[in-house]
Amino acid sequence: MPSLTATPASALEIYDTTLRDGAQAEDVSFSVEDKLRVAQQLDALGVHFIEGGWPGANPKDIEFFRKIKTVPLRNATVVAFGSTRKASNSVRKDKNLQALVDSGTPTITLFGKSWSFQVTDALGIALAKNLELIEDSIHYLRSKNRRVFYDAEHFFDGYKANPDYALQTIRRAIAGGAERVILCDTNGGTMPWEIREICRVVKQECPVPLGIHAHNDSEMAVANSLVAVESGIVQVQGTINGIGERCGNANLCSIIPNLQLKMQRPALGDKLTHLKDVSGFVTEIANLMPNKRQPYVGDAAFAHKGGVHIHAVLKNAATYEHIDPAVVGNRRRILVSDYAGRSGLLEKVEAYGISLTKNHVKLQELVETLKERESQGYQFEGAEGSFELLMRKAMGSHRPSFQLLGFRVIVEKKQEHGLLLSEATVMVQVGNVVEHTAAVGAGPVNALDHALRKALEKFYPQLREVKLLDYKVRVLSAEKGTESKVRVLIESGDHKDKWGTVGVSENIMEASWQALADSIEYKLLLTDR
Amino acid sequence: MPSLTATPASALEIYDTTLRDGAQAEDVSFSVEDKLRVAQQLDALGVHFIEGGWPGANPKDIEFFRKIKTVPLRNATVVAFGSTRKASNSVRKDKNLQALVDSGTPTITLFGKSWSFQVTDALGIALAKNLELIEDSIHYLRSKNRRVFYDAEHFFDGYKANPDYALQTIRRAIAGGAERVILCDTNGGTMPWEIREICRVVKQECPVPLGIHAHNDSEMAVANSLVAVESGIVQVQGTINGIGERCGNANLCSIIPNLQLKMQRPALGDKLTHLKDVSGFVTEIANLMPNKRQPYVGDAAFAHKGGVHIHAVLKNAATYEHIDPAVVGNRRRILVSDYAGRSGLLEKVEAYGISLTKNHVKLQELVETLKERESQGYQFEGAEGSFELLMRKAMGSHRPSFQLLGFRVIVEKKQEHGLLLSEATVMVQVGNVVEHTAAVGAGPVNALDHALRKALEKFYPQLREVKLLDYKVRVLSAEKGTESKVRVLIESGDHKDKWGTVGVSENIMEASWQALADSIEYKLLLTDR
């Protein structure tokens, strides 16, 4: 059996379950590829454990555990999740336990019932039988050389209903070899003062380090997690942005900065400045609307609107900001003044090697252009390529590489279950030469992409090495139905660089065209350097 | 002067500031008419105080206070908000105090500085001077026969920095005649254990009832408010849905049910069942996206997705629900996903009035079809219309209303900055009649939508009342660039119902077609009932 962990009991462990419990959220569905990408981000952020899925319940998760083995991770331990064996199965015949063993992770989190009512009413078995399931399931996994964490499901409800039984379940988990016992507020209904009192009692009873797994049904998940830490718990489970079943899990994007900045309990070390980026990444991958009012990482978290507040913040930020936004990778926004806008922009323009003073007329023009674009729905975070082109156009230093004379895209379907034809024609001018060509594609945007490259590659052979890596569509102001504006974000790359470009229009073809054309212009700008 | 309130100190007061502090939220802007409507809803919900605005800072609010006098309110007292006088003004010459008097409300909330740093750095005046401003501003309003509540801005930060001075500010407020002292965590950075300790000290020092005004910058506003109540505070200030500056204010939609259901502290009496409606009303009026994951009142607050959860909830709801959703006017939802097993599906099928046993072959077929569709990228959460059509097809009880013979979509752009033309042709057959028609639109999907309706409306005039409410595009497996699969979700509605439909394809036109066609089929299914 593996030795007990070397982590000192006083060090905190951040245990992320975005990929398992987070995936239980309504509207969230991760592909295996999504999960691998999120896992890498979580690892870079510095979380200690990544719960990757439940291989016994979801075949997709089996593939994740197979593939994650080939992904190099620096800090994080990948954990498989599953339940204690079924009452009718032996440990060796239990599919769920076998899937956990087969997942090959050195650490496994096993959940079991700690609320007597759940044992009798949900499982429908005797209380003593459940104790057996817990102990021998854990014992079996330990015999396979795995570290086991025990998730005591519904622990707080269970303790309130039948404290003796709840404590018995965790004693048996420890007897089986569990290295951590995680107290779960599965239904999210427990108040912080109850958490404090129950954690205190369990800590006295329990010889292994404890964890907390809170849900947000009473809007208490973050508070409950921190109160548990105050009561001596060492492992905090949660998800990025708090996504999860019903109202979600405890939000690590609030818990981590609260721990580090308010409680002086180091959690991630020096990676806190990545927090906003990771939050945004998970939102994008999950294709959720970003919650701009989210504490710490939301776009409005340090946005000031009230006149009194703005006046004071410009004198001294501490008057209306509880922390420095940069510490979590966020920034201050002044909603009714362009003052901050210009200083921030100046910084950006200088980063591109252009020297301007704060009152330069070109800078003012750029501020106006950006405001105008943003009010139309453009967003330049993640579209630095388009931003640089816009800036160079405003500065008068951009020479276009080609001129569009026209395009036409046709999508045709001949019968109800027939195949579709997507065809695009493009006419462009480079110097004095007009090129007119056509191509097909998997869909209209793909066809347009093919036709445009076909037209330009003879002039600019370096375009052959450009790949489209990512294509995203977000519907803005959705209430106008199919007439709504859409924003297209494209990520492109070659052997060396990656760049993002953006387009906005009521017409998805026009928005895609803008982003495609910018992507090509940006590549040619890179080649010129 | 009016006598002290008759409210016994042990009864809680719910003080709503949606119309004042809530209006400071980014993207929120209430008209006077909006404010009057929200005030009526708040009154019907049973809140005790409605803070209507700051007449000294916003001229719009002067009109609100004038008009609200003519609106009959049953329970609530309308309150005007403002600041202590400016150091350079006498009370009689202070515009802000005069605007408060002119507002005519019998109760006024006056805020002042309780953090020494704010006095010296934001106001730029001497500490002793600030104490004078507080006392004589309140005294003046009392002389005009108004009840005064004192909002001690930044109290917790102030107490931590300089406890003596913070306590002096509230002593002077009481000397001036304040009936309540509200301790504000203005920057939202205070932890619950600090709130508890500071409230305890202040309560011993302070002869008038205390209130709490919390902000959510650390995701602690609800917890901090309840911890304050636990510590003997009687007035809780917050906003509906927690809207407010930056990350928002304490969320009354979570505080009120927590008080009533978790702490047995009656707050609204029997009006709790209106909570979800009022939450939705404010979201609509403020023109915000509803937060479906919001505790208690969100659409997902009692939505179950995990197979284990669904199985157990169908046996006994208490297994995964911390309260009965009906108590706050909400309801349970069973989501269809690859996590949900056969029990969930059976429940859904039965909800459509079809009776099947758990082992019925059709049910098994439906499970297989759903799995197949989901592996292709379909998602039926939010696409209940497509789900019902799929189910009826699997059961053999669906007769299609039309047959597609073909469509063609053309998007054409004639020059670099030229306008786009989007045109669609559609050929459909209804019974023995073939209809072939064409239409233009804002973009290709919009054109296809127009052409399809144009072709079908002569057969089914009820389609005229269908509106497309929402259109969403999600790129699946984005790494294939413009060749990626997309999922289109459409929400449609008529005067009575709303329904969602879905389509998936590598071709966005095909995916949109599927969702559009399902939307129309579903509407015709509704009409047949």
Q: Which residues pair with B145 in a beta bridge?
A: none
DSSP 3-state percent helix, strand, coil across chain A (nearest 5)? 45, 20, 35
Q: How far is CA A38 from CA A18, A24, B32, in A?
A: 9, 16, 46
Q: Which two tokens stand for residue B296?
A: 């208690």
Say whether pLDDT at B461 is over 70.
yes
Contact A263 B121 (CB under 8 A): no
Of B138 and A488, more confident: B138
Instruction: Compute the distance between CA of residue B176 and CA of residue B45 in angstroms, rounded to an integer.
Output: 33
Burial class of residue B397 in the structure, from the number of CB atoms within 10 Å of its CB (0-12 exposed, 13-18 middle, 19+ buried): exposed
Q: What residues of A are in contact with residue B20 (Cβ under 8 Å)? A: none
Instruction: Compute the distance between CA of residue B120 and CA of residue B404 in angstroms, rounded to an integer.
Output: 74
Q: What is the pLDDT of residue A343?
A: 56
Say whether pLDDT at B320 is over 80.
yes
Q: Which two tokens stand for residue B516?
A: 């559009």
Q: What is the pLDDT of residue A371?
A: 74
Say whether pLDDT at B5 is over 50.
no
Instruction: Compute the distance between CA of residue A228 and CA of residue A230 in angstroms, rounded to an integer.
Output: 5
Instruction: Compute the distance between CA of residue B478 and CA of residue A500 in angstroms, rounded to an integer.
Output: 14
Q: CA torsion sign, B120 to B122 to B125 to B130? A: negative
Domain B12-285 classification at class level? alpha beta
Q: Which two tokens stand for residue B50?
A: 């409605």
Q: What is the pLDDT of residue B2?
A: 38
Q: What residues of A are in contact with residue B118 (Cβ under 8 Å)? A: 312, 319
| C-beta contacts of A413-421 below 8 A and 24+ residues apart | A413/B404, A413/B406, A413/B407, A413/B408, A413/B509, A413/B510, A413/B513, A414/B406, A415/B404, A415/B405, A415/B406, A416/B403, A416/B404, A416/B405, A418/B406, A420/B505, A420/B507, A420/B509, A420/B510
Instruction: Compute the distance between CA of residue A358 and CA of residue A360 in angstroms, rounded to an integer.
Output: 6
Residue whose C-alpha is closest to residue B405's, from B442, B432, B378, B445: B432
Task: Assess contact for A509 and A526: CB atoms under 8 A.
Answer: no
Q: What residues of B are in contact with residue A240 (Cβ under 8 Å)? A: none
Q: What is the pLDDT of residue A338?
A: 36
- Chain Cα centroid distance, residue B247: 13
Contact B335 A26 (CB under 8 A): yes
Q: Lowest mean pLDDT of A511-515, B83-87, B302-306, name the range.
A: B302-306
Q: What is the pLDDT of residue B485?
A: 84
Q: Which percentage of chain B shows pLDDT scores above 70?
A: 94
Q: What residues of B are in contact with residue A86 (Cβ under 8 Å)? A: none
Say whether pLDDT at B409 is over 50.
yes
- Cα angle: B356, vertex B360, B366; to 5 degrees: 90
B353-393+460-529 to CATH, choices 3.30.930.10, 3.20.20.70, 3.40.50.2020, 3.30.160.340: 3.30.160.340
Q: What residues of B are in contact with residue A294 (Cβ under 8 Å)? A: 247
Residue to mutate among B216, B288, B411, with most A CBs inside 10 A, is B411
Task: Assess contact for B112 and B150: CB atoms under 8 A.
Answer: yes
Q: What residues of A are in contact with residue B467 (Cβ under 8 Å)? A: 481
Q: Which two tokens stand for residue A56?
A: 């016994």
Q: Which of B188, B189, B469 sits opposite A479 (nearest CB)?
A: B469
Radius of gyration of chain A (CA): 27
Instruction: Compute the distance between CA of residue B8 and CA of residue B237 in angstroms, rounded to an integer.
Output: 18
Q: Which of A405, A414, A507 sits opposite B420 (nearest CB)?
A: A507
Instruction: Compute the distance between CA of residue A330 and CA of residue A467 in angstroms, rounded to an integer.
Output: 31
Q: DSSP secondary-structure letter at A500?
A: E
Say whether pLDDT at B423 is over 70.
yes
Task: Assess contact for B366 and B335: CB atoms under 8 A.
Answer: no
User: Phi/psi class of residue A457: alpha, beta or left (left: φ > 0; alpha: ψ in -120 to 50)?
Assistant: alpha
Task: Assess contact for B391 and B366: CB atoms under 8 A.
Answer: yes
Task: Assess contact for A489 and B402: CB atoms under 8 A.
Answer: no
Q: Lowest mean pLDDT of A493-497, B61-65, B322-326, B449-453, name the range.
A: A493-497
Of B402 and B484, more confident: B402
Q: What is the pLDDT of residue A336?
A: 45
Task: Assess contact for A458 and A433: CB atoms under 8 A.
Answer: no
Contact B420 A483 (CB under 8 A): no
Contact A406 B418 (CB under 8 A): yes
Instruction: Compute the distance between CA of residue B482 and CA of residue A276 in angstroms, rounded to an integer.
Output: 28
Say whether pLDDT at B211 is over 70.
yes
Q: What is the pLDDT of residue B527?
A: 81
Contact A60 B382 (CB under 8 A): no
Q: What residues of A are in contact with residue B222 (Cβ under 8 Å)? A: 218-220, 223
Radius of gyration of chain B (CA): 29
Contact A405 B382 (CB under 8 A): no
Under the banding of pLDDT at 50, 70 and 90, the label for residue B194 is: very high
Residue to mutate among A35, A218, A427, with most B CBs inside 10 A, is A218
Q: Which two tokens stand for residue A503?
A: 């387009």
CA distance A190 to chain B (A): 8
Task: Assess contact for B484 and B465: CB atoms under 8 A.
Answer: no
Supply the angle between the helices B508-528 and B384-395 in degrees, to the nearest 10: 70
Q: Which two tokens stand for residue A148?
A: 């086991």
Q: Lowest mean pLDDT of A194-203, B400-409, B475-484, B487-496, name the range.
A: B475-484
Contact B408 A406 (CB under 8 A): no
Instruction: Compute the distance between CA of residue A392 and CA of residue A411 in angstroms, rounded to an integer.
Output: 36
Q: What is the pLDDT of residue A480?
A: 61
Contact B468 A481 (CB under 8 A): yes
Instruction: Compute the distance between CA of residue A97 and CA of residue A56 in angstroms, rounded to an integer.
Output: 7
Residue whose C-alpha is closest to residue B484's, from A445, A419, A495: A445
Q: What residues of A are in contact with residue B217 (Cβ under 8 Å)? A: 295-296, 301, 322
Quick one: closest CA in A to B28, which residue? Answer: A305
Q: Report H helices in A356-507.
A: 361-376, 384-395, 444-456
Residue to mutate among B156, B253, B413, with most A CBs inside 10 A, is B413
Q: DSSP secondary-structure letter at A145?
A: T
ipTM score above 0.90 = no
Q: What is the pLDDT of residue A306?
A: 66
Of B365 and B386, more confident: B386
Contact A322 B218 (CB under 8 A): yes
Q: What is the pLDDT of residue B339?
A: 45
* DSSP letter for each residue of A107-137: EEEEEEE-SHHHIIIII-S-HHHHHHHHHHH
Of B249 and B8, more confident: B249
Q: What is the pLDDT of residue A335?
A: 62
Instruction: Compute the distance between CA of residue A330 and CA of residue A429 in angstroms, rounded to an integer.
Output: 43
Burial class of residue A282 in the structure, from the number of CB atoms within 10 Å of its CB (0-12 exposed, 13-18 middle, 19+ buried): buried
Contact B338 A58 (CB under 8 A): yes
Sequence-ordered list of residues with C-beta below 8 angstroms from that of A417, at least 6 positions apart, any chain: none
Q: Lowest mean pLDDT of A291-305, A508-522, B116-130, B383-397, name the range.
A: B383-397
Sequence-ordered list of residues with C-beta below 8 angstroms from that of A308, at least 6 positions apart, any chain: B57, B83
Q: DSSP secondary-structure letter at B326?
A: G
Q: What is the pLDDT of residue B8?
A: 45
Residue whose C-alpha is closest to residue B256's, from B6, B109, B42, B79: B42
Sorted by where each begins, the domain ranges of chain B are 12-285, 353-393+460-529, 402-448
Contact B444 A410 (CB under 8 A): no
Q: What is the pLDDT of residue A111?
A: 97
Q: Which two tokens stand for residue B59?
A: 């001229």
Quick one: closest CA in B to A305, which residue? Answer: B24
- Taking one residue from A and the other from B, the number of pairs with CB-CB distance under 8 angstroms is 380
- List b or e across A312-345, with b for residues whose CB sees 16 or more CB atoms inside 10 angstroms: bbeeeebbbbbbebeebbbebbbbeeeebebebb
Q: Which of B217, B339, B446 sits opposite A483 (nearest CB)?
A: B446
Which amino acid is it at A112?
Answer: G
Q: What residues of A are in contact with residue B246 (Cβ under 8 Å)? A: 293, 300-304, 320
Q: Which of B189, B216, B508 sits opposite A508 (nearest CB)?
A: B508
CA distance A340 to chain B (A): 16
Say whether pLDDT at B36 is over 60.
yes
Residue to mutate among B157, B482, B484, with most A CBs inside 10 A, is B482
Task: Assess contact for B302 and B294: CB atoms under 8 A.
Answer: no
Quick one: closest CA in B to A419, which residue? Answer: B510
Q: DSSP secondary-structure letter at B402?
A: -
Q: DSSP secondary-structure letter at A75?
A: S
Per-residue pLDDT of chain A (529 residues; tens, 9 = 90+): 333 344 444 689 999 999 999 999 988 888 888 899 999 999 999 999 999 999 998 888 999 999 999 999 999 999 999 999 999 999 999 999 999 999 999 999 999 999 999 999 888 999 999 999 999 999 999 999 999 999 999 999 999 999 999 999 999 999 999 999 999 999 999 999 999 999 999 999 999 999 999 999 999 999 999 999 999 999 999 999 999 999 999 999 999 999 999 999 988 878 999 999 999 999 988 878 789 899 999 989 998 876 677 778 777 888 899 999 999 999 987 764 333 355 556 666 776 777 777 677 887 788 778 777 877 778 776 688 898 898 888 888 888 999 999 999 999 998 777 788 999 999 999 999 999 999 999 889 999 999 999 999 999 999 999 988 778 887 776 556 667 788 888 888 888 888 889 999 989 999 999 999 999 999 999 887 6
Tell me the three state secondary structure of residue A469.
strand
